Chains A and B, each alone.
Chain A
Amino acid sequence: MAIKSRPRPHGGDAAPEEASGPTQPQVSRRAALLGGLGVTALVALPDMLLGPAASAAQLPGGAAAAGTSPAAPAGFFFLYGTTGVTTPAGVEGWQAPAARAQTSLGAAPQVATTSLDAAPVKSPDGSTLALVSTGATGSTATVALTLLDASSGARLGGGSLTLPGVSADASVLVTPVFAQTATVALVIAASEPSIPLAKLKLGQPLVWTTTHFTAYFDRASGAIAGPFRLFDEPYLALTDAVADADHLYLWAIKDYTKNRVSKNGPKSTLTPEFFAIPLGSGSPALNSASAGPWPSGDRAHLLSNGDVARVIAGRGLETFTPNSGALTKRTIAALEPLGSAKPGSITLDTLPAGHTLITNSAFGRAAIVDPAASYGAVSSIDYPKVKYPIRGTTPSADGTTLYTLGAANTGGLNAYSIATGKLTASYSHGDAYAGVYQLASGTVLAVKPGVQSTLGFFSPQLDNLGGATTSVFVASVF
């Protein structure tokens, strides 16, 4: 095991989380926030450990990345989050250890877009990023899909479609779902308001009626099939979705408010439903009742044994087996007995060996199960609990290591052997990070939110490579 540490830099960083409180500099922070905040942005940053670029990357806006040079890294990663109306997204304050002698990130960060209507979605193989935005043509709502190379930022393709019968006032929620083929399915929930939001007054009742559609983008031909109308009755907009090579799978639930009479009126039964929809179609081939929770808009997952699954209550799985048609609620023995006062950040990853890794930051435990062996336990790893992070753990690409956030009183990062569950490396200088990711180059990226969010870069062995600050309040990294 390698333990690495160094003194806290500059002595000016925020104290660990437990020490936060009313003594923080509220006035100066508030002043810094003046000017408007809360614009969603996607920013491309160079992945510093990748090799020199052959040419400047071409970002979605069509402009070459300003500031790139022959020495610039070839690959990018993306920060998704919010920034200010008058605060352009940027990265500054680069600090690199002298040993690396790297005085800058090598290429300027680029704002990929500020017109996203949902968080980007990465393809299961990590190669492609799907972005969606919505708009209107005349009085009809439109949806646009853009696919980016997740490493270079180059535009790979995309298309747009109109939604017949959906007004420009509708709230349109689009979820891209990568299939195991060249198809990218779009799950579209178009909610029409009883009053346009722009005209809504405080105290006025507002009723939404949601219609669902599917559409399918063919990456080979660039054509879009659809939209196809789903469901006869109104369903809530949120669905949990995943696809394999043949079907789009959805969990959905009817809109209870559309069928209720009154508190004392007759009660309708209400159960989440599961649908299997052949790719390219709008007609479910299968519809069955789910014993799991209401959909929350989270991504479901395709597992190594061909099952599709979603995490339930932060500790279990609901799986669907296409061959048998069985929808099964499963407990994970290592997580089932655990509870917490607060929910935590959940992750589900498939490891190279085919095992499924589930973590819950509120429990401080990772469970590894084997879907091919009836979801039997393989191992579990205990790690420090932290306050609700944006991402509390990430497995290494080779499946050997689990990176986690350090304990609240030490901050930093830890690395555990997935095979043995033992701590193999640790780094702390007191910064309490709130997110950990591994980039395509193998670089481990840690994120600490703040007025200037801190980005910490580490080797796979948790050697500190340097840091930077960004004006983006990071919600996720792709």
Chain B
Amino acid sequence: MAGYDTAGRIQNTGASALSEFGVNPQFWVRYFSPSPAADLINDSAADANAECEGLWKYNNNSPCLGVVCAPTQSRLSGSSAEGVADAQTYGAAITFVFDNVTPLDNPANGELYCWLDQEASTSMSDGYWSGFASTLNGSDTGAYHHYSGLYCDPPAAPPNCSVIDAYVGTSSRCYAVWSSEPEKTSYCSGGIKSAPAWAADSCASVTTYLWQYVEQGVCGFSANVDLDEGRTGTTYGNNCFKLSANP
């Protein structure tokens, strides 16, 4: 399944994306606190509901909402306390949106992949990841589980895979990778109507479940979206919230 991520609001982005790609996405990944440079879905209950109305409007057959946070990137080089604090905020923001959008349902398999944005130029410390992941993995609502995941460029030089691979089987486990590479201009023309065959980069010990195969700037898209697809043989939408009705 293919969909979008965006730092803008769904209701303000959906029309331009539909115009550019001709079809609606099967999921949207949206930014939650702490993401100081993005429009946040958790700004208020009204904002969360307005975004979910957009989610419903731009594909009520697959109204799946994925979650990501992008802290100021230098924080990822910090201590466990910084990771704990960021995950504490992230978990609260997710729960706030879940509670305040009445028809927003649990992920179908009960496992919400909660992505942390690590850009290709950004380093990450062991301490930050262990604090972040242990806090988020433990912040269950009782209705579903928060599963820490990492958005990263696996071949990039700054430590990413080498950090998360070390926590397999621990309370700081990384459950999934969202790979930002490879991105090729040859993928641009297919849009989300015909996403490329699965070829995402991966880490040694953590499976890649989501692939950003095209970025807005690479293809010169006017719509404020990046294009993503779920791993072949899996259904990424099952690891997202899903609307049961229009809020």
Contacts and interface: CB of A to CB of B under 8 A. Distances in A.
Contact of A208 (B84, B162, B216): B84
Nearest to A206: B138
Contacts of A24: 155
B35 A37 contact: no
Interface string B1-32: 00011111000110000000000000000010
A256 B39 contact: no
A202 B33 contact: no
A33 interface: yes
A343 B70 contact: yes
Interface residues of A, number: 89
Interface in A190-214: 191, 197, 200-208, 210
B73 to A, nearest CB: 6
Contact of B37 (A33, A40, A345): A345
A43 B208 CA distance: 34
A267 B99 contact: yes
Contacts, number: 290
A296 B89 CA distance: 8
Given A298-B36, A473-B159, A202 B170 contact: yes
Nearest to B127: A40
Interface stretch (B40-48, B57-65, B190-198, B232-240): B40-48
A150 to B, nearest CB: 17
Q: How large is the interface on B (under 10, 10 to 19, 20 to 34, 35 or more residues)?
A: 35 or more
B115 to A, nearest CB: 13
Nearest to A84: B159
B88 A255 contact: yes
A206 B88 CA distance: 10
B40 A294 contact: yes
B93 interface: yes
A202 B173 contact: yes
B157 A449 contact: yes
B36 A118 contact: no
A82 interface: yes
Interface stretch (A94-102, A387-395, A437-445): A387-395
A29 B156 CA distance: 9
A22 B213 CA distance: 12
A297 interface: yes
Contact of A297 (B75, B93, B120): B75
Contacts of B82: 117-118, 173, 297
A449 B118 CA distance: 13
Contacts of A368: none
Nearest to B200: A22
B92 A236 contact: yes
Contact of B33 (A36, A237, A293, A388): A293
Contacts of B199: 22
Give the interface SS of chain A, mostly helix, strand, loop or mixed.
loop
B174 to A, nearest CB: 11
Contact of A267 (B4, B37, B40, B100): B100
A18 B224 CA distance: 18
Contact of B73 (A29, A271, A385, A390): A390
A263 B33 contact: no
A389 B127 CA distance: 22
Contacts of A450: 157
A215 interface: no
Contact of B78 (A30, A118, A271): A118
B121 A173 contact: no
A390 B72 CA distance: 9
Contact of B127 (A38, A256, A451): A38
Contacts of A340: 7-8, 216, 224
21 contacts: A21-B181, A26-B155, A37-B163, A80-B77, A118-B82, A134-B81, A173-B82, A200-B171, A202-B170, A237-B84, A267-B99, A293-B43, A294-B43, A297-B71, A311-B36, A339-B7, A340-B224, A341-B216, A342-B7, A390-B73, A474-B123
Given A38-B129, A82-B124, A339-B12, 15 more contacts: A18-B218, A24-B155, A30-B161, A38-B125, A38-B127, A82-B77, A117-B81, A260-B95, A260-B99, A271-B44, A294-B33, A296-B72, A341-B5, A449-B120, A449-B121
Interface of A: 17-18, 20-22, 24, 26, 29-30, 33-34, 36-40, 80-82, 116-119, 134, 171-174, 189, 191, 197, 200-208, 210, 236-238, 255-257, 260, 262-263, 265, 267, 270-271, 293-298, 311, 313-314, 339-346, 360, 362, 385, 387-390, 408, 434-435, 449-451, 453, 473-476
